[in-house]
Amino acid sequence: MLSHDQLEAVLMRRAGYEVRVLPDELGSWEENPPNLLEFIRRDLRWCQGNMQYLQLLGLPGLLPVSRCQLLLAIAMYVGAPAWLAFMLLGIWREQPVRPDFGLVLLLSVVGMSLAPKLATLVAVLLRTASRRAWGGVPRIVGSALLEFAFWLLTAPVMAVAVAAFLLGLPFGRRVGWAAQQRNVQRIDWQVAVRGLWLQTALGLLLAGTVWWRMPGAFWLWSPVLAGLIGSIPFAWFSAHPAVGRWFVRRGLCRIPEEAPAAAGPGPLRGSPARG
């Protein structure tokens, strides 16, 4: 299985154990992949793993909520081609399917996506110790805005990658579970072009089509088009070590363990501190 967390959880529930998700990052520290292409590769592995859950829905003894959990994990990736198909349908009709329904759907999806980010931001800002640990209010808010911009640009790139991968699954397309790249790794322009030509081509095609058929709605499409058309330079730029060093010097997007005063891990929770 290429995505095992949900499977382990439902099997533990079947065995009679309770399974809880704790909003606590003290147990592990796992960095993101160092560039957009590695990020996509990891997400496609998770995508293939979640599709493998289709074989497990009929396992005997699973609780109803566990089957629902597996279905939600599958739907998380099926949503990418559904989102693209919904947008293409809007272009074909030269208008939204229903403007009021489309607006409600858009706000609902954006709200669900942003709610965890906003809740975390508020929780950090409301605690004095957290504000200090994360670098102060200006750095926290600036980092949140940068993360939102990165999310806005990468979301359509990831959606196209997942949709293309799902379309290829019935025809034998697969990804393996190779060692993940964690060290700093720049992307050459040629590598970025090979990995993201589909997103760029689709973005240019969509831009021309939207401008031709519904120019008044072009601005609504601009975030999606910017992410797709700019995917190659964005991948190169975001993986450049100089950009990372600039962030480090300004304390942006850092975690408390990266702060200059951090001297290593503190005492384990529940153990007496030694002074």
- Which positions ≥6 away from 103 have C-beta within 8 Å? none
Residue 192 is predicted with a pLDDT of 93
Long-range CB contact pairs, 176-179, < 8 A, 24+: 176/45, 177/2, 177/45
- 217: exposed, middle or buried (C-beta count within 10 Å: 0-12, 13-18, 19+)? middle
pTM of the model as a whole: 0.83
- Tokens, residue 99: 């403007």
Residue 240 class from Cβ within 10 Å (0-12 exposed, 13-18 middle, 19+ buried)? middle
- Position 190 scores a pLDDT of 93
pLDDT tens-digit profile, the chain (275 residues): 788 888 899 999 999 999 888 777 666 667 788 899 999 999 999 999 999 999 888 889 999 999 999 999 999 899 888 888 888 887 777 655 566 676 787 788 888 888 989 998 999 999 999 899 888 999 999 999 999 999 999 999 999 999 999 999 888 887 776 666 666 678 889 999 999 999 999 999 999 998 988 887 788 889 899 999 999 999 999 999 899 889 989 989 888 877 776 544 544 444 444 43
Domain ranges of the chain: 5-16+32-175+186-256
CA 6 → CA 1, 20, 28, 29, 85, distances in Å?
11, 12, 18, 20, 27
